[in-house]
Homo-oligomer: A and B are copies of this chain.
């Protein structure tokens, strides 16, 4: 995986940026990099394009390639990168111990909305999994997930009390690297307040996600209600939509 040429260049350039090896905030031009790394210009461009899409660098034709000062100076905001999709991993634990309490686990027929979102047929069944996640006994999220039985037939109570993504990867080798997310906010319901230990005026953050297998199969629909202090979503938006 990591022995790809463009990935090595990518990793190396990121490292060199962090090491402040480009004090002028300007990277060498593409033709120099091509000689330096002894690769073709296409490969250089590939690595640079990925960094540009991640907001690490800006490219300006005729002028050069420049480092996003924020990436260097304030990489705390950029640490969204490299995060995992699974909640277990993506909410940085800061040494706190994550735990899962299973609130509900059953099989139900997929309603119309789930049929649309998970691309199921009428009569297909899904697992309904409701879980409460905590860090050090401080609950921070109510997770209501739906998974078609036909894509994960072997789900058990023990599995569901841990990371479903890890189970999936271990049992089938498939990984979940893509999702469609919707982020919103709402006043907390009495149930939210009880489970997440919230005051009535304190809201919840809502993250709804449809997670896909690598081949595009919708794998899970998840509705996550978060203690508002834990909703902190960072993203770099680039409307150029170039590759």
Q: Give A176's nearest chain B residue, CB to CB.
A: B239
B70:A181 contact, CB within 8 angstroms? no
Q: How far is the CA of A239 from the CA of B180 in the complex (A)?
A: 12
Closest Cβ neighbor of A47 among chain B residues: B243
Does A85 sit within 8 A of B, measured CB to CB? Answer: yes
A219 to chain B, nearest CB (A): 12
Closest to A210 in B: B70
Q: Does A106 contact B (CB under 8 A)?
A: no
Determine how close the nearest CB of chain B comes to the CB of A131; give it in whole angstroms: 21
How far is A94 from B70 in the complex, measured between Cα atoms in Å?
A: 36
Given contacts A181-B234, A216-B66, A232-B184, contact A50 B243 (CB under 8 A): yes
Across the interface, do A60 and B214 meet the contact criterion of CB distance under 8 Å?
Answer: yes
On whether the beta carbons of B66 and A238 are closer than 8 Å, the reply is: no
Chain B residue with minimal CB distance to A213?
B58
Neighbouring B residues of A54 by C-beta, 8 Å: 241
Q: Which residue of B lies closest to A204 (CB)?
A: B185
Chain B residues with CB under 8 A of A50: 241-243
Q: Does B181 lie within 8 Å of A237, measured CB to CB?
A: yes
Tell me the count of chain A residues lying within 8 A, CB to CB, of chain B: 62
Which residues of chain B have C-beta atoms less than 8 A from A232's C-beta?
182-184
State the Cβ distance, A175 to closest chain B Cβ, in Å.
Answer: 9
Smallest CB separation, A117 vs chain B (Å) = 7
Q: 25 A-B Cβ contacts within 8 A?
A: A46-B243, A49-B243, A50-B242, A53-B243, A60-B214, A60-B216, A68-B212, A69-B218, A70-B180, A73-B119, A74-B116, A77-B180, A81-B241, A85-B239, A177-B239, A180-B235, A181-B237, A182-B232, A183-B235, A184-B228, A185-B203, A185-B205, A185-B231, A202-B203, A203-B203
Shortest 7 CB-CB distances between A and B: which pairs? A58-B216, A203-B203, A185-B185, A177-B239, A183-B233, A49-B243, A185-B228
